Amino acid sequence: MKVGDLVIYNPDWDIAISFDRPMGMVVDQSSPESKYHHRIRVMWMGSDIPINAKAMSTKGERVTSWVSPKHFEVISEIEIQRRRSD
């Protein structure tokens, strides 16, 4: 995962891949070389700000605070996995 990637929110309890989940773009990252310390900031896409944005930001804004990338999946990686399983 890197700055500029299009990502989709993946809550821990949701195992089904569906594109109706909130999407965003990675706008910043810190410590990308460390799996433990790696954090990203995501700007949510769409006209309405999803409830996830309010929960993951300090002021209820469109850009998240620093969050773990484990809560997101890169969309291109989802497509590659889907094509491999077909």
11 lies in some domain = yes
- One DSSP character per residue, the chain reads --TT-EEEE--TT--S--TTS-EEEEEEEE-TT-TTT-EEEEEEPSSSPPHHHHHHSSSS-SB--SB-GGGEEEHHHHHHHHHHH-
Residue 39: per-residue pLDDT: 92
Computed on alpha carbons and rounded to an integer, the radius of gyration of the chain in Å comes to 13
75 lies in some domain = yes
Q: How far apart are CA 16 and CA 13, in angstroms?
A: 9
1 lies in some domain = no
Write out the residue range of the structural domain in which residue 56 sits. 6-85
Note the pLDDT tens digit of each residue in 16-74: 556 677 888 999 998 888 877 889 999 888 777 777 777 887 776 788 889 889 888 88
Residue 44: per-residue pLDDT: 87
> How many domains in the chain?
1
